[in-house]
C-alpha cells in the first residue's frame, strides 16, 4: 500500500482506457448515480438542493464512487463523481489491490469531465465550422441557380422546362437531406 496523497502528477492512461472510462461514465456510472444515489431533493443538472428541501439552494457535497475493471485490463479504476460550482465533476483514480480488496489510490488522478467537455467543445466547433461551410456553398449555389432559373424561365422550350424541373427536384432532395443531418 502506498501513501495516499496527491503526487501532483496525472494518472497515466492509454487513449483506449480513456475512451472506455468516458463510455462507462456516460452509459452506466452517471445514469446509475443520478437514478439511484442522488437524493430526490437535489437537481441533477445543477447539484443544488431544490426549493422543497430544507437545504434549498445549497450545493450537494457528497462524493459518489463507482468502480470498474474492464475485461481487457488488469487495472481497476474508481470514478469519483460530485458537483463543483453547479457542474458534475468526475475524477478518475486507479485502485491498488490490498490482499483482499481494491483500495482507491489518490496519488494520481485524471479529470474525466475536462476531457469530455473539451471533446464536446471541439465537436461543437467542428459542427459550427461545417455549418458555415455549407451555408457559404448554399449561397454560391443559390446565386448560380437563380441566374440559370431566370434564363430557363425566359426560354419557353420543352428542353428548358425539363431542365428546370430537374433542378427543382434536385434542390428539393438536397434540402431534405440537409434537414435530416
pLDDT score at 72: 85
In this prediction the pTM is 0.60
Instruction: Say which residue the cell 440537409 belongs to.
Output: 178
Who's near 46: CB < 8 A, 6+ residues apart? 83, 86
**Three-state DSSP class for residue 144:** helix
Res 150 pLDDT > 80: no
For the chain, percent of residues with pLDDT exceeding 90: 38
- For residues 16-36, give the mean pLDDT: 92
Res 63 pLDDT > 50: yes
Instruction: Say which residue the cell 447539484 belongs to.
Output: 47
Res 51 pLDDT > 60: yes
Q: How far apart are CA 68 and CA 22, in angstroms?
A: 12
How high is the mean pLDDT of the chain?
78
Q: Which of 15-24, 87-96, 142-151 has the lowest mean pLDDT?
A: 142-151
Q: How far apart are CA 69 and CA 62, in angstroms?
A: 23
| More confidently predicted of 14 and 165 | 14
Res 1 pLDDT > 50: no
120 burial via Cβ count (<10 Å: 0-12, 13-18, 19+): exposed
Amino acid at each position: 500500500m502506498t501513501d495516499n496523497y496527491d503526487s501532483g502528477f496525472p494518472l497515466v492512461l492509454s487513449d483506449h482506457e480513456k475512451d472506455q472510462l468516458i463510455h462507462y461514465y456516460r452509459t452506466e456510472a452517471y445514469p446509475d448515480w443520478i437514478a439511484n444515489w442522488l437524493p430526490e431533493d437535489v437537481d441533477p443538472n445543477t447539484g443544488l438542493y431544490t426549493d422543497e428541501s430544507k437545504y434549498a439552494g445549497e450545493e450537494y457535497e457528497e462524493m459518489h464512487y463507482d468502480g470498474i475493471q474492464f475485461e481487457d485490463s488488469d487495472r481497476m479504476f474508481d470514478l469519483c463523481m460530485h458537483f463543483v460550482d453547479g457542474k458534475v465533476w468526475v475524477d478518475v483514480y486507479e485502485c491498488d489491490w490490498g490482499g483482499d480488496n481494491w483500495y482507491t489510490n489518490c496519488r494520481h488522478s485524471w479529470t474525466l469531465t475536462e476531457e469530455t467537455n473539451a471533446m464536446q467543445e471541439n465537436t461543437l466547433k467542428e459542427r459550427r465550422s461545417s455549418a458555415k461551410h455549407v451555408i457559404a456553398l448554399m449561397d454560391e449555389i443559390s446565386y448560380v441557380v437563380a441566374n440559370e432559373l431566370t434564363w430557363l424561365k425566359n426560354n419557353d422550350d420543352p428542353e428548358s422546362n425539363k431542365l428546370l424541373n430537374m433542378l427543382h427536384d434536385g434542390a428539393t432532395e438536397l434540402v431534405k437531406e440537409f434537414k435530416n443531418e
